[in-house]
Structure 1
């Protein structure tokens, strides 16, 4: 898969394309059905499978929605798309100026001239152009004039995508990681840089790596203790992760701390991706540090039990 950061950079492509358009946040099972349809069509027609998506999310730009929470960072989305076998992922910068393109400008300049679209697979409810004033019937009319086909994704499939996204977000906020992962078809991930914490975990016998996530829009699951895995220095390690405030030691800021089992390396300053497998319990304020240590031992035993069942 080739990732292209701006439509203007999509040049010298020998084949015409078959395109679908959307945010594809989570790239979950519903999205994967649409992308599978795209790739099957591409093989049958000898067109290049192409996804057009945008960043920042349009709501961040048009509605100044700073509270929007997404399932993937941009890098995570690229990583997942890479595994699916697409030919091109185009991530175009979404700006107010771009949103003001008329429907005609969008179709002629972007889809036809810019992306060499020969076929477009799109949802029945898709709207485009300035003020989102054009719909799929308009797109079909453009196609008949400009020489591309339009395949409509039916209401049931689009509704399934919407329901899946909502269920995933709600499940993560409820701490139901198993449900979220089942809809995603992969383990929900957090990606960040390891920084220094207070060093309290080491004192307790559970040294932790503090995960700092730069992207404020990334959805963080409910506070609590989770079973996780990561690839560190080329090898897979399991561990347990706490999302929360460390109330037993009077913590006041939210943190993400991971204790990797059997890992003895130095991760400070490194970028690490954590896949979340299970949720063990809520975060509690214990009566003493000793009581917390005892609970951490129980958490590790429980984590190892769950890992052994994989």
Structure 2
């Protein structure tokens, strides 16, 4: 199992189908689990996908339409049933704080898990920890909505041969990483001499929205972009009217933002052939496209190489 992967729990939109549950996406990121938009039935989908309540560290809700949040009661109650030992942070548009409170306590249960509500008031950084920097950006939908983006800081990869050449080993390697330089062999050795840049990875989650600045800000340089493509291009007018994207628009975003792996999801039940979404996105984007299916796993691509001209 990859330490960085997307577990797809549901890919439907307003109405689930025999093949597609309502939304739900778990991002595994170095032992941290971020659960996005848990729609109705997410608790069962988690069981089917082998995702435990203890795997979730954050819940992130883009907006309060039912297909993106009606799974919250079951997920949170399961956390208490399983006695999740760590705090779980919940992020959602601040305008929907009453909705979240009602969902969280939709029925009687013995609350043992610690769930900490952190409403998103304004765009920007909403959390920062060992996973990286978590950002929220507003989207254009009939109700207040945010997309989310996880940005790992750029770092460096130490080169063992160069470290040996300068006689640097053990705790002194960590000292060099912290301080940026140290004395070795009668001279000052800098971090740049014994390492190469290691670009940080980026993940973006874009749900119900028309094209807007927030979409492009979220997708910029993403290694893995999860984006709604509710409609096919021939129904672009419907997409605009209801505040959604088409498959072609999702492909255009991926191309213009330098995305590496594109995951299309949130498909309207009106379409019977999911391959059409990938084909329309491919007219604009030549990179890897995944037409998401329930219970599949999508690895985050391996790191970009330092100096890769495609990195942003």
Fold agreement, TM-score > 0.5: no
Q: TM-score, length-normalised on structure 2?
A: 0.26
TM-score (norm 1): 0.27
Bigger CA radius of gyration: 1
